[in-house]
Amino acid sequence: MSHTITFEGGDQDIVVVALDSQGKAVIPTTATYGIVYLPVGETDPDREIVASGTAATIDPASAVTTADAGLGSANTRRVELPVAGFEANRQYLIRDPDGKTELIRVKSVSTAGPHLDLWYDIPSRFVTGSTVEGVEITASFPSAEAADEEHFEDGGGPYRITWAFGGGFATTPVHEMIFVERTQVRPLNIEQRMIQVDPKIVRRSANGGYSVQQAVAAAYEDHRAWLNAHDLDVHEFAGDRTARRALVYDALFRFYSVIATGEVDLAKRDAYREERDMHRANLTTGQTKKKTVITDRANDQAQAGTSRKYLSPFSLA
């Protein structure tokens, strides 16, 4: 995984969730990190940005549920509990007394109840008295490095953050890449464009249990992964009309893939997939390679910058 830091954006958080050897989310007892600038060698004084072993912050939120949650409950996207310390759009780990766990993402926090509303259904049953705890781990990318003109002009990285987690479960240090960019790629207004293409999705979303927002979220993840797999830089296509249309039709394809109940729905699903694939094919015509990070085995050093520069519609340079 890679992270994007905004040039001259001040101190900026980098957030992860620790996974065990089976890929399950876990809450470590300790978490540390270090950040290095890979374009220079191990003996260069510019190499170390944040010293290895610096303490990361583990979200301290914790509460016990006051009602059953998940499968079999009246609302499988609601968790009733004291909500102090919990925030919208953050992830938490729910654990029942038998040790079963599930990763959840909060859509909204309500003090009336009180309860958490989630983005997705909880697929298992969690009895009253289950524990919900913060699972996100946060590091800080320093403002001075985010504003380093020389490093930014050389390509904005790559930097490497190395995480280390403690807690007795099987895990190893995690390496992730960081790039400093002029701007962040912001989500586009895909929902309204989906409705322009297919107004019926509003009613189907309200009645079917699978929302337009969920389809958009899944399409965004797939869109970024598809661009990466085809050696395309997501920043180049932040405002590209063809990329936007591909994203709209991918979200519609995903929506109908979930809620389809008959031949008409399946025909729409297939038509939207074909439209998406047509726009994606147009994106790949004549494109060159995107940035990659390759470190030298001998000195653990990477070439400055990327294999090509990008031109973002939102760029100031």
Structural fold of domain 62-134: Thrombin, subunit H (2.40.10)
If one counts every other C-beta atom within 10 angstroms of the C-beta of residue 6, the result is 14
Over residues 252-265, the mean pLDDT reads 89
Residue 48: its pLDDT value, please? 92
CATH among 1.10.10, 3.30.70, 2.60.40, 1.10.3470 for 2-58+136-181: 2.60.40
Measured in degrees and rounded to the nearest 5, phi and psi for residue 126 equal -125, 120
Over residues 154-177, the mean pLDDT reads 82
Q: What are the pLDDT digits (tens) for 167-187?
A: 766 556 789 999 898 766 555
User: How many Cα atoms are found within 13 Å in the side-chain-facing hemisphere of 288?
Assistant: 6
Q: Which two tokens stand for residue 314?
A: 């939102």
Q: What are the pLDDT digits (tens) for 44-74?
A: 998 999 999 999 999 999 999 999 999 888 8
Where exactly are the structural domains of the chain? Answer: 2-58+136-181, 62-134, 190-284
Burial 162-177 (b: 16+ CB within 10 A, else e): bbbbeeebebeeeebb
Residue 240: its pLDDT value, please? 65
